Chains A and B, each alone.
Chain A
Amino acid sequence: MNAGPLFREGCRRVGKALSDLLEYQLFLRIGGLLGAMSFPEAGPMRTSQTPGRWILHIDMDAFYAAIEQRDCPAYRGKPVIVGADPQSGRGRGVVSAASYEARRFGIHSAMPISQAYRRCPHGVFLPVRMDRYQEVSARIFSIFHRYTDLVEPLSLDEAFLDVTGSLQLWGTPQAIGRRIQQDIWEEHRLTASVGVAMSKFIAKIASDLRKPQGFVVVPAGTEQAFLHPLPVERIWGVGPKTAAGLRGRGIHTIGQLAQVPCALVTAWFGRHGRHLWELAHGIDDREVIPEHPTHSLGAEVTFDRDTDDRDVIHQTLLRLAQRVGRRARAEGVKIQTLTLKLRTASFHTITRTCSLQDPVDRDAELHRVAQTLLHRVPLKAGQKVRLLGLAGSNLRNLREEPVQLSLFGSPGPAVDPLAKAVDTLRARFGEEIIQPATLLTSRQRESGLPGSPRWRHGV
């Protein structure tokens, strides 16, 4: 074993840590010596440069789980975990959402489903009904739009609203926030937490502070007092790694970070450091950018068991093509670029992309392209696949574009009546109500019944 490089690396790290420490202590000492003299960068609190701007951050409480509990009264008051099939603890995949009852068992989103099952085997484990959540989300967002046009969605259950221009009509930002909370409850029996502040950064921290049904206002001028006692992890963009880096230097709270000179934080973390320093000072000029049209739509599946079964892979590809196609049709867009993602059992991720001449939205067309993409993935015989995904991007809204006529007649009417009928059926009765015969199991083919692969434990 050659320990040379390891040893050198070790020395380098120790040396760096020492120099960082010295740097920081030197800074503290100078700070002490200079007393009241302040560093130019660490000067008095600079808040947002845009005067009088009011931002709301609205975050739905345990959104997916709350929808399930609302839709099915039997789940209310019970720990509901939405995500992958736990398969009595052997399941793979992760938790997508956990109700507040489930959170009491220490379950949170992104936790492996197997772990969630161990913590709460009697919980109600439900599959993700993304279409349902999207539908509810669209209605919630329409409430936001009653109060302002400047709505920036962060995900299905979270958005920034710039209400500066709406104050004349609706009064104070607090009033708007309360009304939105109330509308959501009255119309949908769902709860949301609201943060009100003069910047996106502070509004987001505020909404997160007293979940569920939180309502936190940070009045102008009190940002510093609000931010400084909070731990550095609260800063947007401070993950476990950066947090450890800060704590290693004796910085635990946002206030402590704000006292370090900007140049030093920049030296530690590069450009990201400068951004963190600004946020610690409450400086955040980012504007609320109203909803941009969808840029991509995708679907992916992690197999219950890694597989090299060509039939399973091909059937999954067809399911994915159907899901992507259905979403494209629902959004009224056609897909010009299709990307296939495949993760092998050894966690090696391979993607293949194809830009089409003519954008498509039909399942069969998407499936055909997906198949050619799959052909281009170098899979050795017996190599197992863990995950398969399909995503459409470069979306074209053909309703807004002139129609290029075809020489050989278009492959069918602009809206495929079959696809439309199938989409309608699925929207009403669920994904499995109608399937191509190739996707039925042999048992289903014999019985003539579509299967119901829902997992409902503990009900």
Chain B
Amino acid sequence: MKVTVTRDELLTALQRVQGVVEKRNTMPILANILLEAKSEGLDILATDLEISLRGFYKATVDECGAVTFSARKLLEILREIKEPEIVLSVSETNVVHIKAGRSQFKVMGLPSQDFPVLPAIDRDGLIPVPGAGILDLLKKTLFAVGDNDTRYVLNGLFILVSPQGQATQIRFVGTDGHRLAVAEQTVQIPREQSQAREMKVIIPKKAAYEMKRLLEEDETEPLLGFTKNLLIFRKSGLVLTSRLIEGNYPNYQQVIPKDSPQKIAVQREELEGGLRRVSLLSRDKTYTVKLTFSRDHISLYASHPDIGEATEEIPASFQGGDTFSAGFNAKYLLDVLNVLSEDQVTLQMESPLSPCLIREGEATGFKAVVMPVKV
């Protein structure tokens, strides 16, 4: 195998696979990338057996072939190289020669057959989805997805695709059992490509993050699809696949409070700033802040047994209820406020120990629920 490729093209490829390459060293070969030189260009692939990313890159191929070697070493080399173009060639013993100007590297590789075989996928069944829309759904729900929760389904993002007449509704749900975020959008999908039946899947958090990263690169419209146990996400020459998480997602709709007349409206930035400041004096790890809802303001209070305390009053309008206080993990509230863009947010809460529903002013399509703490 022998190819000539620009440094920038290869660097882009390597940076893209960084999130996928396995760092936990369960199987040493998963720290590698697979390079496949085909007549029309270079295929670069990484996997951790759960998710995989394949990308196609421009290259002048003198001799086809394939090899697998350390992704990290190649990335480190590329970062230090200043030459615009590099030549990669592989010996019969799988030694990769990297030549860039006056520098030469020889990196030990392994035969490409040693690299795990990935499931074959085809283009059928993929639906075109709006990239910006999906990115927005991801941003608004990913923060709530669990991390290493023992209930493993909570470590994934729930995706619902349901046809609604002419349109298709896409809903993303994330929850870690303490807070929940639901975001949805209605998109138009050409009839011949839309799916007749409803689809419900849970994708690993890592796959969702990779999708988000790829969507943030540029505006190219992606294709999305699911097989029985696989997510497929295609975008400008890249294919991301991920195993789906099996299991039953909890009944999230049941825990979203119904619309109630008891509402608190507040300026988002003011609440956000106040929480940031007051939580500086909250207890470590739990970030507990007490919110007291009064007719025309919310007062925030936090105290740390060893350090001190902080308070702040934020103008707000509270309709239809008596003053009451509830404790919250400030971080959970801030995570929600952070993904919103409207100026005004509304909080709905029945009593100090009931769930708190957070929505954006006029906008629909987003709901967050945060459970309080018992102080």
Contact = CB atoms under 8 A, between A and B. Distances in A.
A28 interface: no
Interface in A391-448: 396, 401-408, 411
Contact of B27 (A356, A357, A378, A405): A378
Given A365-B150, A396-B285, A403 B250 contact: no
Given A376-B26, A378-B25, A378-B27, A404 B149 contact: no
Contacts of B146: 357
A354 interface: yes
B290 to A, nearest CB: 10
Interface string B341-371: 0000000000001010000000000000101
B156 interface: no
B148 interface: yes
Q: Which of A352, A354, A378, A407 has the most CB of B within 10 A?
A: A407
Contact of A407 (B25, B26, B147, B255): B255
B147 A357 contact: yes
Interface in B13-54: 24-28
B82 interface: no
A401 B286 contact: yes
Nearest to B252: A407
A377 interface: yes
Contacts of B371: 404-407
A355 interface: yes
Nearest to B150: A365
Nearest to A379: B26
B62 to A, nearest CB: 37
B26 A405 contact: no
Interface residues of A, number: 24
Given A358-B177, A402-B327, A402-B374, A407 B148 contact: no
B150 A405 contact: no
Contacts of A356: 148-150
A352 B329 CA distance: 30
B22 to A, nearest CB: 10
Contacts of B250: 407-408
A405 B372 contact: yes
DSSP class of A's interface residues: helix, strand, loop or mixed?
mixed
Contact of A408 (B24, B25, B28, B255): B255
Contacts of B355: 407
A360 B178 contact: no
B26 A378 contact: yes
B11 interface: no
B288 interface: yes
Nearest to A404: B373
A411 B179 CA distance: 16
Given A407-B177, A407-B179, A401 B149 contact: no
Interface in B134-193: 146-151, 175-180
A377 B26 contact: yes
B177 A408 contact: yes
A129 interface: no
Contacts of A408: 177, 250-251, 255
Contacts of B150: 356, 358, 360, 365, 368-369
Nearest to B305: A400
Interface range on chain B (Cβ under 8 Å from partner): 20 to 34
Contacts of A352: 24
Contact of B148 (A355, A377, A378, A403): A355
B375 interface: yes
Interface in B324-348: 327, 329
A356 B374 CA distance: 21
B206 interface: no
B371 to A, nearest CB: 4
Contacts of B374: 402-403, 405
Contacts of A407: 175, 177-180, 250, 255, 355, 369, 371
A360 B151 CA distance: 12
B283 interface: yes
A175 to B, nearest CB: 36
Q: Which of A357, A365, A411 has the most CB of B within 10 A?
A: A357
Contacts of A401: 283, 285-286
Nearest to A364: B150
Nearest to A408: B250
A358 B177 CA distance: 10
Interface string B239-263: 0000000000011000100000000
A146 B288 CA distance: 36
B101 to A, nearest CB: 36
A412 to B, nearest CB: 12
Interface string A362-383: 0001001100000111100000
Given A355-B148, A356-B148, A402 B255 contact: no
B213 to A, nearest CB: 22
Contacts of A357: 146-149, 176
Interface string A322-360: 000000000000000000000000000000101111101
A345 B364 CA distance: 60
Contacts of B178: 404-407
Nearest to A394: B285
B285 to A, nearest CB: 7
Given A357-B176, A401-B283, A378 B373 contact: no
A408 B255 CA distance: 7
Nearest to B179: A407
B372 to A, nearest CB: 6
B144 to A, nearest CB: 10
Contact of A354 (B148, B327, B369, B373): B148
Given A352-B24, A378-B27, 5 more contacts: A369-B148, A402-B373, A405-B353, A408-B255, A411-B151
Interface of A: 352, 354-358, 360, 365, 368-369, 375-378, 396, 401-408, 411
11 contacts: A356-B148, A356-B150, A369-B150, A378-B26, A402-B373, A402-B375, A404-B329, A407-B177, A407-B180, A408-B250, A408-B255
What are the 3 closest A-B residue pairs judged by CB atoms, nearest first?
A405-B371, A403-B374, A402-B373
